[in-house]
Amino acid sequence: MDPKKKQQFTIIGAIVLVAVIAVGALIALSGRTTASSVDFSSLEKTRTQDGAFVLGDPDAPVTIVEFADFACPHCQNYRHDIDRFIREHVATGNAKFEYRFFPTVGGALTDFAGKVAVCVDEIRPGAFWEAYDIFYQLAESGQYSDRMGSIIAERLGIDYSQVLDCTSEVNQVQTDVALGRQLGVTGTPAVMIRYGDGQPQFINANGRTYNSGGVPYDVLNQVVLASQQ
């Protein structure tokens, strides 16, 4: 074979190989799911008077409140900080964690996901937190669709027809959105602190008000420790 043609084939082959590797990497990443590192089964589960889902000792002095959307990429990334917070402060009794629905990127799908999450908990108390974890996994793996409800029900061993019947009767998503707007939430994630039974408020620390985006773990750690002094 002519040396020039041989060199051309070698270059083309190398380009094809790089392309195949790149596509494979993208496929692997798109199919990646990240389960929570938290053992929800070991934590006390309650609900607020207006229905929000709470983890932790009811007597803990402070609560970190997150308004979030499962489909929101920033919420997905921030979940690692929330998981760490739950492990280090909720599991130890220092604080509680309260989750609030606030559809943004996910729109109507997140509204539906919220209703499903509420309903599986009403059918099987405590199941909300399992659904919470699965919804994030589905969103991260590109499976956030109108099939989510049946997937959740199947994984949790719950009759999906019961879930669907329930979704027309619950309004927790609307309750959370109304509260968020009243408090000044405009996007997700929005993270606040609740002292005792008071209203959630944006976190003030180090001369800054954290009124948008995820609050860094170090700041959460700081305000919780300060509440114990």
Tell me the one-letter amino acid at 97: F
The token pair that represents 118 in the structure block: 């509420």
Query: Alpha carbon 50 to chain centroid distance?
Result: 20
pLDDT at 37: 77
pLDDT at 36: 77
Residues 23 and 54: their CA atoms lie apart, in Å, by 41
* Residues 23 and 31 sit within 8 Å (Cβ to Cβ): no
pLDDT at 135: 97
pLDDT at 3: 52
The token pair that represents 124 in the structure block: 């099987």
pLDDT at 149: 96
Using only C-alpha atoms, the chain has a radius of gyration, in whole angstroms, of: 22
The token pair that represents 212 in the structure block: 């948008």
pLDDT at 187: 97
pLDDT at 9: 46
* Residues 72 and 109 sit within 8 Å (Cβ to Cβ): no
| Pairing verdict, β 53-55 and 95-101 | antiparallel
* CA atoms within 13 A of residue 139's CA, in its CB half-sphere: 23
The token pair that represents 43 in the structure block: 């934590």
| List of the chain residues with pLDDT < 50 | 9, 12-33
Of residues 35, 190, 184, the one with CA closest to residue 100: 190
Give exposure, 78-88, as e/b (b: 16+ Cβ within 10 Å): bbebbbebbee
Angle between helices 107-123 and 128-140 (to 10 degrees): 150
